[in-house]
Structures are given as C-alpha cells and as structure tokens.
Amino acid sequence: MSTINYPRKHRVQQVFMSYSPLNKKTAKVSQNSSSIILDIKPADNRFKIDQTSLTELVKEKNTDKLQNIGGVEGVASILETNVEFGIPGNVEDITLRRESFGSNSYKRPQRKSFFHFVVKEFKDLTIIISLLSVVSCLAFDMMDNETLARRNEDESLIAALFLVVISAISNFWQNRQFQKLSELCNNIQIKVVRARLHQKVSILELVVGDVVCLKIGDQVPADGLFLEGHSLKVEESSITQDESDHVEVNCHHPFLFCGTKVVDGYARMLVTSVGKNTTWGEVMSSIIHDTNELQTPLQIRLNKLTSSIRKVGLAIALLALVVLLVRYFTGNTADECVIEEFHGSKKKFYVMVKAMRILATATTIVELVIPKGFSLAVKRTHVYALKKMMIDQAMVRKLSAFETMGFATTICTDIAGSLTLNQMKVTKFWLGKESFEAAAYSSIAPYFLEFVQEGVAMNTIGTAYRPTSRFEIEFLSNPTEKAILSWAILELNMEMEQLMHNCKILSIEAFNSHMKRSGVLLRRMGDSTIHVHWKGAAEIILKMCPRYYDSSGVMKELDDHERMKFEKIIQGMEASSLQCVAFAHKQLSEEDQEYDTKDKNIEEEGLTLLGLVGLKDPCCPGVRNAVEDCQYAGVNVKMITGDNVFTARAIATECGILRLGQDMVNGVVIEGMEFRN
C-alpha cells in the first residue's frame, strides 16, 4: 500500500492574510479590477482558516473568492484533506476537527421534566376547582376538629387527583420514548472516504474536511463543495422555499447545501461546515422545536364526547349545588347525617364550613360524571402498541399511525426492502442465447470477458475495497450495483482498480428511474481507443442493439427473429422473479471519436449486446403469511413497482399477493407511473 501524504501547508494565490485585532470577528472581501483581497481570521489551531470564512464561502456562492483560495483543491489543502483518500480519520484528527469547526449536531430542545407534565395536567379548570375544594374542606374540617374518615367526597376527589398524576406519569414516559425514537431515526449512515478506505459512518460523526460520497436519493448531510462526479442535480426547495427546480452542481457551480436532496447523478463532496454552522443549521437554530405529539383522531373524538359529558355534569352539579344551598338555608335538609339543618343562631364559621361541604359535594358530582379515564386508556394502548412494533423493528413516529392502520382498507407496497430482503445476487448469466454457469466462465473468450468487466467497473456508482488482506472484499452501493460488482469480482476475477487505472472516463450518463439505464464514454490509456458502455433494464438496452455476441464471442446481426428469441429469454427470467440487466458495448471509429470527445456525447445507436444477467432478491420470511392475514382481515394488498411489470408479477405471485391464474386487470400489480397518473 502506498504512503498517503496529507498536506500541512498550502499556498494561497492573491490572498493577503490580515491578523489585526479588527479582523478577529469578521472576514471581509474587497475586489478591484486586478485582484480580490480576502481577509481570513487566524484560527487557534493548525488549520489556517476559521469556520466563519468557510461558512460565508459556500453561503455566498462566490466563485471568485473560491478561485483566489485555489479552488476546491485549495480549500481541501487548507483543511488538510486529500481529495482522493480523505482525511486521516484517526481519533486525534477527528477530535481536533470537532474542536476547531464543531460537530454535526443541532441544539435540541431541553427535555421536559416530570413536573412539567404534572403542571400541564393540573391546568384543567375542573381539576383546579376540585383541588381548591379539597384543600378548603380539609382546612375547615381540621379547624372544626372533625374526623377525616367521614368525608367520602374528599376521598373521591383525592382518587380523581391520583388518576391525574398517573396520566402525567404516562405522558412523561411517552415523551421519553419518543425522544429516544427520534435520536434513533436521526442516526443516518453515510458513505465517506477516510484514510483511503470507503466506510459508512453515522451522520453525527461527520467532521469538516470529510469526503462524502453522494448518490441519487441521498440527502446532503452538510454544507460543502463539489469534488468530482457526473450529472449531479439537487433539489434546493427545502432551503430556498421556492419551486422544486433541480439545480445542477459541477466544477463551475460547486456549492452544496445541507438538507438538499440528490435527484440525479452522483458525486463526492468536501465538507466545509457541519451542524449549526450550515445553512440548514441556521434555520433549525431559529425554530423552537415542539416535540409534543398531536392528539390522534380517536383522542379528538373522545375529547368531544368528554366535553359534552362535562357540560351535562356541570349542569347537574350546578343544579345540585343550588338545591342543596336552598334546602340548607331554608332549614329543609332531609339527611341530617350529611348536612345538618341551618340555624341562624349558629356561628358564621360553622355555616361557612357546611357551605363548603355542599360545594365539595357538587364538585364530587362533576368529578364522578366526567370520564377522565378515556384519554388515559387510549394513551396507554398507543404506548403498548408502540413498544410491540419497536420489538418488530418498526419505528412509529406518530401515535395516530396506529389508528390510521386500523382504518386502512388497502395497503400499497413496493418490492425491494418491503416484500424482499433487498439482498440481490446474480444467479443467471446469458452470453448470446446460451446460459453459463459459474464453472463454465473459464471457457469464455478473454477479450469478451474484458468487455464485460470494463462495462461493470467503469459504468457503476459502487465501490469495492478490501480493508486489510485478512478481510473479505466490501462493496458499497445500492443492492443491484453491489450484486453485479460482487459477481464480476468474485466470479469473473475482475481487477477493478487496475481497470480504472487503465481507462479514463470522458463522460457519464447516470442512471435514473425514468430512462432505466446508465452509460459511460471512456478512453483506454494503452491504445487511446474510445469505447462506449451501456447498462440497464434488459428490454431498454435490447432496443439499442442491432448486433449481439454469441456464446463463442462472435458478433452477429440481431434481426427481428433473433430479437424475439432474446425477448423470450428476458421474459423467462422475469417470470422467475429475476431482475434482468443487460450490457452493451461499442468501439468508436476515428470519425466518431472526434465528434464524441468534442461534445462528450455517449453514442446510443449501433451498440452490440454483450450479455444478460439475472438478479434474484429473495422474499422476506413470513411475508406470505402476513399477506394472507391482511387478506383474511379484509385488507387488500397491492404492489406498486418501478421495475419490470413481469418481474413484479412473479414476485407478487410468490408472496401471495397475486394468485395463480389471476390477471392484473384489477390493479393488484401497478407500475409507479400508472399509479401517479
């Protein structure tokens, strides 16, 4: 392994460092016709730039300022990052970067104490009246030297207040569970390059200077600069609040912002700001987070019912209060064991005691009539269901999800990761019209295998590396790319690093779900020939090929009759629930080379079909029983897919969603585009 040199010094062209005390708080940029003067505040560490300058560099999108620092490579040099191998990644280096530039975390709201939930429960007007009534009765009884054992209404009120405390305990525990769940959901794994190794780390461990690998569907984890990549487009509506237009990011516009989403292409970025120093972090810091769970629909309906009962209870209690007061002061009290008759000769204090006892009786009626256990019982049920689902590795962020599931009549599911394990493996390889097993790969012509290996190694967003000689090769990419890379390296003996060293990529068309293909234009360094490689859905690639290689590696014409044979082969693999991927190749002539290298276009016509691979993604254990349980309960299960509809139909049959002999006219299996339309 070659030695990795991480630069400690850097050169800044046309930059004047100002160390005067006036510049310790702000970094100013002045521009004239000949040069740009950048004042960079000296940092109290080995890095020759402070966080404020890095934040403003990306936030202002000032390309002139960036170029005068030396471009992206200049910033990487200042941050002591090797653009190819990343940061050293040892404990001392990570610690120093966190101390200098901060950690990738945001200020979270202070945890609410148990006292907060107790106070919240006691804000109920009925509870306040009850509490005052209890305190008043107890005070007067103690002054009147009466025993407390006779006060049944006091015991009822105390029992009601005890239920309130239990409700506060339940809310407090529930809040703690959701905080833990939120922390678990925010712990996203991202792919970075450290000490030459591609590895996955928690987004919370990201530091300034890291080299992050981005692909379609990823959310940019920090502010940074574009290092290298192809066809990268991001959606910045989350930070600009504008329409969701796709912004192209490249060497001329290298600025990436935290919180934006990659919608096309792939790239590597240099992290310049993390946590609260990012554009997204500033927005998050200005927002007061409220982690309170909104009431579920059932709780809302129960609250309406409780409110109606409360009104009736208050009316009854008020009527009882008036009747008891009138009867007491008129001397018509029937039950002298409870309330003695009123006599004008008695002391005012004694009359006040009896009046408070009448008020306590009315308050007890209110407490007994209003069903406070409804809301508490619903919360306890939700929390119990939450714990049960977390045991099954299902994360529920809103309690209302349980009720939503209860009202569901139809479940729409995708394939990968839901019905299948999302662990693909190449199980079929077709060269021409003949299927090859792994043991027969050695009989394939070497030059033909070189074409296949070149198409796999150069036309991919995945990476393969061996941490040390003692460990197996690790693959980092999506399941499809990982399966193809694993097959090519382990079974075709592909040397990925050597192929990437022998070829130079001129242009790339990244894979997207609409085109269902990806292409690469490359130059071989040995003979300077230009080659085109395409990879994608078999039916798409087949339409681009007027020729094919047979099992002997001989190129033949692909007429309509031969094309029908290939279509049957593809349909046969799809009927076996295999995802079919095709490879195509073309070597450009001298005239085409001059045209394509100038405009960086990737030829789409006149290709030769190299071969077909079938990838198997096994169904999850128990998924068929789960589908049958849903259907038995009257819940319809439908499959929404972006893959080939025949493959989806085969998987749906295997999972029990589609029965044998049942057609798809009833919409059991639907393509994503049809579903959206």
**CA dihedral of 126, 128, 132, 133, whole degrees rounded to 10:** 10
Query: Please, what is the Cα angle at 234 between 210 and 88, to 5 degrees?
Result: 5
Report which DSSP code applies to 41: P
Structure tokens belonging to residue 264: 């096309």
Beta bridge partners of 627: none
Which is the catalytic residue, given 141, 154, 218, 414? Answer: 414
Cα–Cα distance between 657 and 670 in angstroms, integer?
12
Q: Are 38 and 46 in contact (CB under 8 A)?
A: no
CA distances from 6 to 82, 93, 96, 226, 565 (A): 6, 12, 15, 20, 56
Q: Are 416 and 481 in contact (CB under 8 A)?
A: no
- Please provide the DSSP assignment of 78-126 as one string: HTT-BTTTBB---HHHHHHHHHHH--S--PPPPPPPHHHHHHHHTTSHH
**CA dihedral of 424, 425, 430, 436, whole degrees rounded to 10:** -170
Q: Pick from 54, 57, 58, 30: which is nearest to 43 by CA?
A: 54
Cα–Cα distance between 515 and 653 in angstroms, integer?
27
Cα–Cα distance between 207 and 273 in angstroms, integer?
8
H-helix segments, 102-201: 114-121, 125-143, 152-186
* Secondary structure, 3-state, 397-447: CCCHHHHHHHHCCEEEECCCCCCECCCCEEEEEEECCEEECHHHHHHCCHH
| Bridge-based pairing state of the strands 636-641 and 669-671 | parallel
Structure tokens belonging to residue 304: 């309406």
Which element (helix H / strand E) includes 44?
none
Q: Which residue has the tokens 């690998």?
A: 213
- Please provide the DSSP assignment of 310-369 as one string: HHHHHHHHHHHHHHHHHHHHTT--S-TTTSPPP-TTS-HHHHHHHHHHHHHHHHHHHHHH
**CA dihedral of 289, 290, 293, 295, whole degrees rounded to 10:** -130
SS3 call for 636: strand
Active site residue 414: yes
Beta bridge partners of 412: 638
Q: Are 268 and 212 in contact (CB under 8 A)?
A: yes
Q: Which residue has the tokens 């997204």?
A: 280
| E strand segments, 503-588 | 503-509, 517-524, 530-537, 547-549, 555-557, 578-587
| Residues classed as catalytic | 414
